[in-house]
Structures are given as C-alpha cells and as structure tokens.
Structure 1
Amino acid sequence: MSDNPDRISFAGRLRNNFLTGLIICAPLAITIWLTFSFIRWADSWVKPYIPARYNPENYLNIAMPGLGMVIAILLITVIGFLGKNLIGRSIVSFGESVLHRMPLVRTVYKSLKQIFETVLKEQSTSFKKCGLIEFPSPGTWALVFISGDAKGEIAARLNDNGDELVSVFLAPTPVPTAGFLMFVPRSKIIMLDMTPEEGARLLISGGLLAPDYKPKVLQPTVVPKAVNPLPGT
C-alpha cells in the first residue's frame, strides 16, 4: 500500500514551516534570555551596595531591571576618567605595585590586564579585517581573521626575505572560538571587504550566510577637451 502523496506533501510543508519558525524564534529567544540573565547578574552584584536612600526602587515601589548595570557603567566610566589624570594614575600605580608583590595574585592580574588591553585598546587592529590564504594546500582557500603585523622574536627571525609577516587567526567551522594562530607573508593574503562579524557568520553557517558583495566600479578618467585658441592668436 503506497503512501498518499498529498499527506506526505502536507507533512513536509509542516516540517519546513516548523524549522523556519525555529530559525526565527530560537536566536531571538536565546538573545533575550542572555540579555536579561546578564542584567540580573549585574543587578545582583551592584544593588546590594546601593544605599537605601539612593535607591529609586524604594520610592517608586517598582522593580527597575538594569538599574545596577547602569550604575556600574557610570561608575566604570568615572573611574576611567579619573584614571587619566595625574592623581588617578598615581593611585592606580600604587595599587598595581601592591598587587605585584602578591605571588599568586600578580600572575592573575597581569594576565587579565594584558588580555583586556589587547582586546579593548583603541589603537589595536585586532580582528578588524578578513582575508583569504591558501590552506591546507595550494588552490584551496581558507577564511582568516587578520590580527596584525608579526612582532618581536617571530618577526626578527622570519622577516629575512623582506616580505612582512602578518599574524592571522584561522578559525574552524562551525565553532570559530578555537583555531590556529598562523604567520603568513603579506603577499600571500587576499584582503576582503567583509567585516569580521560577517566572516564569523559565514563560518558558523558553514558558508550558507554569505554577505552581500558589490564590486567597486572604477570611475572612468575624464580627460578635459583641448580649448580651441581664439582667432588671431
């Protein structure tokens, strides 16, 4: 006995509609859940230290989600402003000198500070560009994130041929958080116009979510016409 084609078609359409709805709803629901979880986490850390007379919730008699996070952002901003002047730098230097005398704490502090300075430094060019390199064999291309120029001992030992080395991060699919740090000659990299965010989406989707690309059209050079000389000149 053969199956009814209409029943199979209806079941297939129902499955496709469910998968489409799942693709739409799941990222949205997870994003909302993560956002509110982070807000509640920040509030649980900050709100206990807010004096009762300065807490607006005591006067309005309503819960204000995100109040602790807003206060934390303002406090961090003020600390950053104060840390730029002479007195602030002196206080920070004194605090760091105390931490550097603690055997275990100084290792954790120095590591965390180096990570944050590398990621958040304004002059840093980390992961601001994407490129293509031939990997794992000639003729096969892989997407990489550009970290910057090679520095230190690696640059001194490998830049003998005059071609500058660039440090790139080769991420796997579909989890781009792990990968390989590679040093590639600049001439071997094809720079791309896509942003790192677009490159990450391309990797996570396995090549399905390719960003739109409009080739740059070179404007033709307009040659001015020769001006005819006036009669009698």
Structure 2
Amino acid sequence: MKKYLLAGLLVWLPLAITIWVLGAILSTLDGVFGALLTATMAVLPDGARPLIELLKSIPGLGVIVMVGGLLLTGVFATNIAGQWALRQGSKILVQIPIVKSIYSSVKQVSDTLFSSSGNAFREAVLVQYPREGSWTIAFVTGKPGGEAAEHLSADYLSLYVPTTPNPTSGFFLMVPRKDVIALAMSVDEALKYIISMGVVAPPIPLVAAARNQHG
C-alpha cells in the first residue's frame, strides 16, 4: 500500500505544484490588470463601465495583455524613433533625486542580465563556499569593477551563489579565477540542480564522460 501511495504521489505532486504556480501567476496578473481597469473607470463615461466589468471577468486576459504589451514595447524599443524616445525618458528620470538612484540601479542590473552581448549568468561554475573543502554551484556575473577592482591585484571573477531551493536570494562573492572550476552544464541545468537540492543531477557531457573513462 505504501509503495503505491508513493508512486501516485510522485505522479501527481509535480503536476499539482505546476498548476498551483501557474494559477498563482495568472491570478496576480489578472489582479493587476483588473486594478488598472478599475482606475480607468474614473476617467471613462458611465456607458463604458459594463464593458470594463466584462473585461475584468475574463480569466487570463491579463496575461494576454501583458504579453501583447511586451511585444509592442519591444517593437517600439528596437527602432530608431523608439530608442530616441527611451533615451529622452531616461534622461528625465535620472534628474529626479529619489527616482534616479532606484531607476539607474535597476536599469544597470537588467541591462547586464538580459543583454544579448553580456556575460552575466551565462556560465555555471563550482566554488568553495562557505568554507574550504565545501563546494557549491555559482554563476559568473562578470568581473569586479570600480574601487573594489583597484584593491584586487589578481584575476578575479564576480559570482552569484544562489540559495536552495529558492535561487532568487543568494550571496555575491569576488573570488580568484584560479579558485573557480568551470562547468559544462548549462545555466538551466544548474538551476534545476540547485532547486532540487541536488536530487536532479544534469547528465555528464560526452567530453567529460570520455575523460573520466580514460582517467
């Protein structure tokens, strides 16, 4: 009986968690979309309110609107006129005292992480942490810069060490390149390995497997 219960649990648990996570995301996006529609009701005539209420009742519409908005924004941002407008908007935002620090920091991080020409989170490595002899997986985010780089004479790497099972929080380290072991696994495989707490191990690449056999 216990064997069959565990087998059934292994089948339904991943599916149930996936549905729960997707449902939570859909509910959040629909809630944000509904709040925006409610805010627009204040400036629209009374005759438009039934249409607004109808739109708020359609499940998943917030996701469709968000995806459509991202696509339109991407199209706008990739042409000359859109790039000029975005630059002008950024110049205005960086002149506002409090907004300047928040906007500039978030923009620098997002440009680094999502830029196609950047190297952030493009490589998974092994590093000794939190003590010598204890190893964990980290992601290369670049090289130290600014004043920190002036105090580091050797070749250093900037690393992000995620926590388990929630990789959105973690630690920032600057370590010598010689103390880091590069991994052949992709970033997605490394994330799965971290989130599963080491249960879901990525396959060994063919080159590494052949090297181990000859060794």
Verify same fold: TM over 0.5.
yes
Q: Pick from 161, 177, 192: which aligns with 2:183?
A: 192
- Aligned-partner residue type, residue 20 of structure 1: L
**Residue of structure 1 in register with 2:116 after alignment:** 122
Q: Pick from 7, 16, 20: which aligns with 1:30?
A: 20
What is the number of equivalent residue pairs in this alignment?
A: 194
Q: Pick from 78, 93, 99: which aligns with 1:99?
A: 93
Q: Which structure is higher in helix share?
A: 2
Alignment of 1:42-191 (within 5 A): 44=34, 65=61, 66-82=63-79, 85=80, 87-159=81-153, 163-191=154-182
- Aligned-partner residue type, residue 73 of structure 2: I
Structure 2 length normalisation: TM-score?
0.73
Range moving further from structure 2, 73-82 or 32-41: 32-41
Q: Report if aligned partners of 1:129, 1:192 keep a CA contact under 8 Å in 2.
A: yes
Aligned CA-pair RMSD: 3.1
1:202 to 2:193 alignment:
yes
Q: Report if aligned partners of 2:157, 2:175 keep a CA contact under 8 Å in 1.
A: yes
Range moving further from structure 2, 137-146 or 120-129: 137-146
Q: Pick from 13, 35, 38: which aligns with 2:3?
A: 13
Superposition deviation, residue 114 in structure 1: 2.1
Gaps of 5+ in 1: 1-9, 219-233
Which protein has the larger Cα radius of gyration, Structure 1 or Structure 2? 1
Superposition deviation, residue 46 in structure 1: 7.6
Cα pair distance change 1:41/1:115, threshold 3 Å: farther
Q: Report if aligned partners of 1:169, 1:182 keep a CA contact under 8 Å in 2.
A: yes
Q: Which consecutive aligned stretches of 4+ in structure 1 deviate over 6 angstroms post-superposition?
A: 45-49
Cα pair distance change 1:77/1:138, threshold 3 Å: closer
Cα pair distance change 1:208/1:187, threshold 3 Å: same
